[in-house]
Structure 1
Amino acid sequence: MRMNKLTRWHRLALALAVPALLIAALDLFVFPLPPGARPDPSGAGQSTLVVLAEDGTPLRAWASEDGALRHAITLAEVSPLYLQTLQHYEDRWFRVHPGVNPWALGRAAWQWARHGRIVSGGSTLTMQVARLLDRRAAGRSLSAKLRQILRALQLELHLSKDEILTLYLNHAPMGGMVEGVEMAARGYLGKPARELSQAEAALLTALPQSPSQLRPDRAPARAQAARDKVLTRMQTLGVWDAASMADAKLERVFAPPLRAQWLAPLAAERLRQEARQGTQPPGSVIRSTLDAGLQARLEQVLLDRLNTLPEKVSIAALVVENQTLQVRGYAGSADFSDLRRAAHVDMVRGLRSPGSTLKPFLYAMALDQGLIHSESLLIDAPQNFGGYAPGNFQADFSGPVSVSEALQRSLNVPAVDLLERLGPERFAAQLRQAGLRLRLPANASPNLSLILGGGSTNLEELVGAYTALARGGVAGKPRLRAEQPLVETRLMSEGAAYIVREILESGGRPGAPFRESEQRIAWKTGTSFGFRDAWAVGVTDRYTLGIWMGRPDGTPNPGHFGANSSAPLLRDLAAALGPQQLAPRHVPASVKPVPICWPLGLAEASTAPAHCLQRRLAWTLEGATPPTLPDRLQPGSLIEVAWVDAHRQQRLRPDCAAAAQASPERVELARWPALLQPWIEPAQRSPQERWPWGPGCAPRAPRGDALRIVGLEPGSQLRPAPGQHRIALKLQAVGAQEGLTWLLNGQLVGQSEKAGAPLLLELSRSGEQTLTAMDGRGRFGQIRFSVVSL
């Protein structure tokens, strides 16, 4: 009996095991779960590649291999209002049925039998997921419906209810290439699924019923009607009250085209390319450091300006947060849809000539090397540096200028002069170490043209270097992803950064009042040769901003340069960023204001009163007040020995006859550098230098009188001929050597390597005029005249 009993149990177990094994074999080998049936918490393999802003806002997405735009999320990332609407409207018994609803299927079968066609499918959410995952279960035939039922039962066997619901959230068709509630919420509504309102939740619940006909960007009226039907149902079921439903129905359904929702498309493309080259898996999410709101404002500012520019001109902009070096705004082009402007070219990374934007770094390095302070005397006059003769952008010269004036006005000659003394190789190497690499032509080495744009760099490296002005002299590499390492290098001292920023922001005047209501921004412009590139870079307490404007193909864009094109746009962008908290500006311990004297450049406290011809207040570094840079034309000290008579009325020479009778006294005079002599008025010179010479004691080769202008008498009043609006003159300079430069009111009007070449001068404005002729030895001639009735 015992053996028979065991045999019966074995037979029963075998009878149960065989069907189970058969079902398992069918489930695993004949009818396995379709691909994608198991939710992946990471989203990889379910999502298309999506690039997000820092807050999760999608910037741009690329279709996955199955052609869908999908952003995988979890239940916790979806608004409870949407989950409530979905389950009450689509499948109220979802949490209790085994994958199919027998009552709903029976109703559908009876309707089919009665009408001869399928009236309602009786589908549950699980069956809809089965249809989405298995294309052979997606039809409306009886065999497709049977396959759908089997798939639903299989899904319920393998997955939890939450896992099945998650599959629906990520695969529900939402129109066109869009799948899933998150991508639909972002694309149509501009918000994440976790922030859906009742009306928005109802809209996205209705959309999968007929995705192609209910798209809110193409059929807003039909979409709104379908949404209202869902809202009415929620009210009828007693889930939501009538008052809130009435308010929800007042919301208008509208969505712009999906492509118009893209933000920072070139930044997103860059991150996608970097992911391809690295270890980023396909079908994943890349989170950037971009601020979606700031990016939208940035793009709008660029678009507003674009309409005023020629059709092939583009704009690039970059906004970097100083503290973190994270990129908050990135526009590689102004309008990604405008092919006329080569909008697909990312000019944030385009290599172009930086023009004068490198000058702040030069002055900072010179400060750190002890060559200058903020008010050091520099020479803005025609000079030749071994065959390189730079001019200023406006082709005029100002004579004596301070470091602050030269930097703020972006004067070229003082910058080239300073670079020669610092050394172009050292300048380029220090920039390269800090991440700003100047690309030179093949086989070329750094030279004096670097400071005027003789190399090439890009907006990203330039902005990264400018962050040093707000970060105590430490430059950094901008970061597009938070996980990228923080790359920092000291470019200048904290004190030099403070002084240069003060110059660019307020003119570098110690003690100058600052109105707290103003937007504090230290900015610099640049224009490359031939008007190819117009730059503006600005530094605020929180951000460093950069603007590039030009044609991506490198064609000149005459009339557009940094000051008139990029600088106004920079100010507009700074204003669009909104008010920023003004951090207290602390003067570094190494920086002190010190009164100094021109022309010697030394501290007033260490300068004899007679040698202090002009007093200024300078920012100094470590208390150093370096002297004025050595005179190139007249080497030696700027203090000259002079002889005067005992009554201090005449200048003498020790070897002249008058000196033998007058018992000359020896005095020391402070002189101006030779190249500045044409600009120095008598009142600016030492008193003794203005005294008349004693009889027979005039210098043998007076620098100021050795060159004489002929063809026009001093003090002349010129009038045009009747009916004419111009006056033409032919002038010559007698006694000039080693080339000749002509300046009219400080502006260059002629230059010749031959000292005797005449000047053909046309006058077109009335008023007092000053004409100066200078030769290569620093000698000059100068006459003043006036023009009337022009």
Structure 2
Amino acid sequence: MSIKINAVSKLLIGDGIICLLLCWFLFALPARLFVSPTSYVVEAANGELLNAAIASDGQWRFPAADSVPDKFAKCIIAFEDKRFYQHPGIDLLAMVRAMRQNFRAKGIVSGGSTLTMQTIRLSRRQDRTIIQKLFEIFLALRLEVRHKKKEILKLYAANAPFGSNVVGLEAAAWRYFGRSPKTLSWGEMATLAVLPNSPRLVHPGRNITRLITKRNNLLDQLAKLKIIDQATANLSKLEPVPGKPRPLPQNAPHLLNRFKTERAGLKIKTTRVRTTLNEALQLKINALLKRYNNRYRANDIDNIAALVLNVRNGTVMAYAGNIYQPENAGLESHVDMIRAPRSPGSTLKPLLYASMLNDGLILPKTLIPDIPTQIGNYSPQNYDLGYDGAIAADRALSRSLNIPAVRLLQTYKYPRFYDQLKKMGFSTLSQPADHYGLSLILGGSEVTMWDLAKTYMGMARSLNHYNDYHGYYNPHDYDAPGYIKQKPDEKPDENELQRSSLLDNGAIWSTFNAMEELMRPGDEGLWEQFSSSQRLAWKTGTSFGFRDAWAIGLTPDYVVCVWVGNADGEGRPGLTGIDVAAPVLFDIFRQLPAGKWFEMPKNKLKKTSICLQSGYKAGQYCPDRIEEYVSFAGEKTVICPYHKTIHLDRSSTFRVTDQCISPADMIHQSWFILPPAIEYYYKIKHSDYKPLPPFMEGCGDAGNNYVMDMIYPKNNAAIYIPLELDGQRGKVIFTATHKNPSAKIYWHIDDQYVATTAHNHQLSLSPTSGKHILTLVDDKGERFVQQFTILDREKH
């Protein structure tokens, strides 16, 4: 009985040992064999290398490729492990042969290691002892159980040493031959195949003869094995071998750095990324920016950036964050200007225009005042320092006039526009709305090229999709563009579509058409220098102090954004969007295929009768009308306020009232009447403008006494008068206007008579500090009263 128990115990112990050995065998290898850091690698959409950065341990080590080139597989197997596909991880014949050779030579002349064993050794980096050799054999067997031969070959190719600080076949191909391994010849691949065995053979000026000999022997071996013919082997022997490593491509360095910072958020495990960038376009834009940079540096303008987006699929086609010149640290070319917050200049004006159209506050051609404007201490100025009196909203946008833009924002309210920009995805508005105020529309905030281009792309995508979604909107149209290549997005689920959007497609359509007519500031005609073969909506911007020059343009297919300036914020004369950014924009569009213009979203537009002169909805007194497509919200706009019926005598020379003439003897006529301050400048630019006729002698104005206005200063203005060179306080030029060109105006300050003016109503005055009341009285007894404040220098 005891004998049977002992036998059972021994059997159980034996089974336990076998189970332990089996568990040890199964779990002897770590889940991840290689844990060394890898280089960050950025590829174009076609798989070509755009950029790579050295790994954190100082090695050029690319992430493992999906496959190993057939040429390398055949070369490395012929050179290192002829029976690779037959043995289970160890080659007993090779080991016996190696021991015999080592015994005869009384030293180690042959190792007999298989590629599987070498892969294990590369992953462990242990001293080469007999014990370690035995352990490698054991782990090699285990590796063969877990992995297929192709996977083992892939591990070896990605981690084998190739000399210097080059690890892995892909890094070696780029460092020694400047090309992808799949493009290498038999001679080049044979050269790389012999290096892991002797990685020190690649050294500038050394070992060239030994390297050539080993390569040629391998080529002969390939011919002997019938892998290549002898003629191919002989021709391959004539190819040169590398003398030293080459620099890797640096064609998208700023996108590579962006990927580094965003990889965790993108949930990408590998440090290799296949991007959506078009390789040919990226290289063309790099070269184009380099040419412009060489030209602009003569004016100490050091930096330039460009971003190209594909509207159709919402992806990045080209990403040039700056001119990459690492050898010149003073140029700060490492700064990615696509992500850098900068003043946007006038590039937000189309967004305000579209928002006001969307909310029914204006129509495309609504007249907007363009006169001297002071709001508190804020006095915006147009680029050309001139005034139009009043100008159509779309023309004000195309000419990028500042005063109409500020007046539009004053109507729309800057907190409301601030919230709209936030909804559009502008991420740099870190201060409350009151911090920016009305200057928000003239570049008083900071934006990034990324956010700006993303918003315009969202508008273009929304307009492109108006038919696709049957009048509904896809909120994802305004999502950030993607630069990681992935499967195309499927059509959105119907539950995701919405009845309304940030901007109605009708408003977007009108905005893009206004942007298409962009003019050079101060010019009356289209600027033909930048004529393009395709229709293009575009806008330029210049920040205060000439620090940032912008140009952004779009078609139904592409959005291009360009920034020019200095990364350190230094301004330069001539650094304007129209002069330095727009030429780059149009040169980039010349690299892109031309396409059709946006389709009119007729289901989002309605034909409306518009007053020809004022651009408002035509009222009963508007004699000249046109039919135009406007967004549905345009129905909410007010009727034309500038056309009114006046009463004339039978000669149509004088205005009359029923105080002096019978209504039966009157001629009733519609008249385009602008307020005095607007009229003062409007009639200079519009020779066809007809001022109101004077009243007939003896006929008083029946209550319509709005005949005077102050052009400067405006009511409740706060004015600081600086000291002149002689130390005396300067003067303020007070300017008024009157409906009657021949009228006299009597000026009073604080009820004290000051002077009388006729025709040109201007006075040069120097009031004392404090609040004052200005009173104007004309020769008909009409009065005009307003307040102003003169600031004391110490309080300024």
TM-score, scaled relative to structure 2: 0.71
Superposed CA offset, 1:682-739 (max 9, x none) = 985577x5878766779899969999xxxxxxxxxxxxxxxxxxxxxxx998978999
- Residue aligning to 2:357: 367
SS at match of 1:544: strand
Shift in Å, 1:410: 0.9
SS at match of 1:548: strand
Structure 2 residue 669 is matched with structure 1 residue 667: yes
Report if aligned partners of 1:315, 1:334 keep a CA contact under 8 Å in 2.
yes
Structure 2 residue 654 is matched with structure 1 residue 651: yes
- Residue aligning to 2:545: 530
- Residue aligning to 2:773: none
SS at match of 2:308: strand
Structure 2 residue 683 is matched with structure 1 residue 680: yes
Q: What is the CA–CA distance in structure 2 between the aligned matches of 1:501 and 1:208, rounded to whole Å?
A: 60
Structure 1's 286 and 690: CA in aligned 2 closer, same or farther, altered over 3 A? closer
SS at match of 1:307: helix
Q: What is the CA–CA distance in structure 2 between the aligned matches of 1:234 and 1:63, rounded to whole Å?
A: 34
Q: What is the CA–CA distance in structure 1 between the aligned matches of 2:177 and 2:357, rounded to whole Å?
A: 54
Q: 1:552 is matched with which residue: 559, 563, 567?
A: 567
Superposed CA offset, 1:158-179 (max 9, x none) = 4246154333122111233332
- Residue aligning to 1:501: 512
SS at match of 2:515: helix
Structure 1's 171 and 733: CA in aligned 2 closer, same or farther, altered over 3 A? closer
- Residue aligning to 2:291: 304
Q: Which amino acid aligns with 2:551?
A: A
Q: Which amino acid aligns with 2:417?
A: F
Structure 2 residue 141 is matched with structure 1 residue 156: yes
Shift in Å, 1:490: 3.1
Q: What is the CA–CA distance in structure 2 between the aligned matches of 1:698 and 1:392, rounded to whole Å?
A: 39
| Unpaired segments ≥5 residues, structure 1 | 509-514, 631-636, 708-730, 740-752, 759-775, 779-790
Q: What is the CA–CA distance in structure 2 between the aligned matches of 1:567 and 1:373, rounded to whole Å?
A: 28
Shift in Å, 1:309: 3.3
- Residue aligning to 1:747: none
Structure 2 residue 255 is matched with structure 1 residue 272: no
SS at match of 1:384: coil
Q: Bigger CA drift: 307-316 or 189-198?
A: 189-198
- The 5 Å alignment of 1:382-397 reads 382-397=372-387
Shift in Å, 1:7: 13
- Residue aligning to 2:467: none
Structure 1's 168 and 437: CA in aligned 2 closer, same or farther, altered over 3 A? closer
Structure 1's 676 and 476: CA in aligned 2 closer, same or farther, altered over 3 A? farther
Q: Kindly tell me the number of residue pairs found equivalent between the two proteins.
A: 689
SS at match of 1:404: helix
Q: What is the CA–CA distance in structure 1 between the aligned matches of 2:598 and 2:433, rounded to whole Å?
A: 48
Q: Which amino acid aligns with 2:602?
A: P
Superposed CA offset, 1:436-481 (max 9, x none) = 2462657834521110011222222111111133122653323344
Structure 1's 128 and 668: CA in aligned 2 closer, same or farther, altered over 3 A? closer
Shift in Å, 1:413: 1.0
- Residue aligning to 2:329: 339
- Residue aligning to 1:233: 221
- The 5 Å alignment of 1:33-112 reads 45=35, 48=38, 50-53=40-43, 54=45, 56=47, 67-73=58-64, 77-97=67-87, 99=89, 101=91, 104=94
- Residue aligning to 1:762: none
Shift in Å, 1:116: 5.8
RMSD: 5.2
Report if aligned partners of 2:554, 2:560 keep a CA contact under 8 Å in 1.
yes
Report if aligned partners of 2:356, 2:362 keep a CA contact under 8 Å in 1.
yes
Structure 1's 87 and 444: CA in aligned 2 closer, same or farther, altered over 3 A? same
Q: Which amino acid aligns with 2:560?
A: L
Q: What is the CA–CA distance in structure 2 between the aligned matches of 1:396 and 1:683, rounded to whole Å?
A: 14
Report if aligned partners of 1:189, 1:255 keep a CA contact under 8 Å in 2.
no
Structure 1's 99 and 492: CA in aligned 2 closer, same or farther, altered over 3 A? closer
Q: Which amino acid aligns with 2:159?
A: H
Report if aligned partners of 2:191, 2:215 keep a CA contact under 8 Å in 1.
yes
SS at match of 2:403: helix
- Residue aligning to 2:470: none
Superposed CA offset, 1:536-577 (max 9, x none) = 22223223222222223323233212111222222233334x
Q: What is the CA–CA distance in structure 2 between the aligned matches of 1:254 and 1:181, rounded to whole Å?
A: 15
Report if aligned partners of 2:734, 2:763 keep a CA contact under 8 Å in 1.
no
Q: 2:630 is matched with which residue: 608, 620, 637?
A: 620
Q: 1:466 is matched with which residue: 449, 456, 474?
A: 456
Q: Which amino acid aligns with 1:304?
A: R
Q: 1:352 is matched with which residue: 342, 366, 371?
A: 342
SS at match of 1:669: strand
Structure 1's 250 and 376: CA in aligned 2 closer, same or farther, altered over 3 A? farther
Report if aligned partners of 1:591, 1:623 keep a CA contact under 8 Å in 2.
no
Q: Which amino acid aligns with 2:258?
A: R
Shift in Å, 1:435: 1.0
Structure 2 residue 191 is matched with structure 1 residue 181: no
- Residue aligning to 1:330: 319
Structure 2 residue 580 is matched with structure 1 residue 565: yes
Shift in Å, 1:580: 5.3
Structure 1's 602 and 67: CA in aligned 2 closer, same or farther, altered over 3 A? closer
Report if aligned partners of 1:356, 1:525 keep a CA contact under 8 Å in 2.
yes
Shift in Å, 1:55: 5.1
Report if aligned partners of 2:223, 2:233 keep a CA contact under 8 Å in 1.
yes
SS at match of 2:434: coil
Shift in Å, 1:429: 0.8
Q: Which amino acid aligns with 2:136?
A: R
Q: Which amino acid aligns with 2:315?
A: Q
Report if aligned partners of 2:174, 2:246 keep a CA contact under 8 Å in 1.
no
Q: Which amino acid aligns with 2:604?
A: S
Structure 1's 568 and 213: CA in aligned 2 closer, same or farther, altered over 3 A? farther
TM-score, scaled relative to structure 1: 0.72
Structure 2 residue 556 is matched with structure 1 residue 541: yes
Structure 1's 501 and 701: CA in aligned 2 closer, same or farther, altered over 3 A? closer
- Residue aligning to 1:633: none
Shift in Å, 1:393: 1.8
Shift in Å, 1:107: 5.6
Q: Which amino acid aligns with 1:601?
A: G
Structure 1's 424 and 182: CA in aligned 2 closer, same or farther, altered over 3 A? same
Report if aligned partners of 2:683, 2:689 keep a CA contact under 8 Å in 1.
no
Report if aligned partners of 2:337, 2:449 keep a CA contact under 8 Å in 1.
yes
Q: What is the CA–CA distance in structure 2 between the aligned matches of 1:533 and 1:542, rounded to whole Å?
A: 26
Shift in Å, 1:367: 0.9
Superposed CA offset, 1:328-380 (max 9, x none) = 43333321624222233333222222111100111101111222222222333
SS at match of 1:201: helix
Structure 1's 206 and 374: CA in aligned 2 closer, same or farther, altered over 3 A? farther
User: Percent of pairs identical after alignment?
Assistant: 29
- Residue aligning to 1:723: none
Superposed CA offset, 1:573-596 (max 9, x none) = 3334x3255476344322357674
Q: Bigger CA drift: 54-63 or 455-464?
A: 54-63
Q: 1:316 is matched with which residue: 296, 305, 310?
A: 305
Q: What is the CA–CA distance in structure 1 between the aligned matches of 2:201 and 2:674, rounded to whole Å?
A: 83
Q: What is the CA–CA distance in structure 2 between the aligned matches of 1:292 and 1:418, rounded to whole Å?
A: 43
Structure 1's 220 and 450: CA in aligned 2 closer, same or farther, altered over 3 A? farther
- Residue aligning to 1:448: 438
Structure 1's 96 and 683: CA in aligned 2 closer, same or farther, altered over 3 A? closer
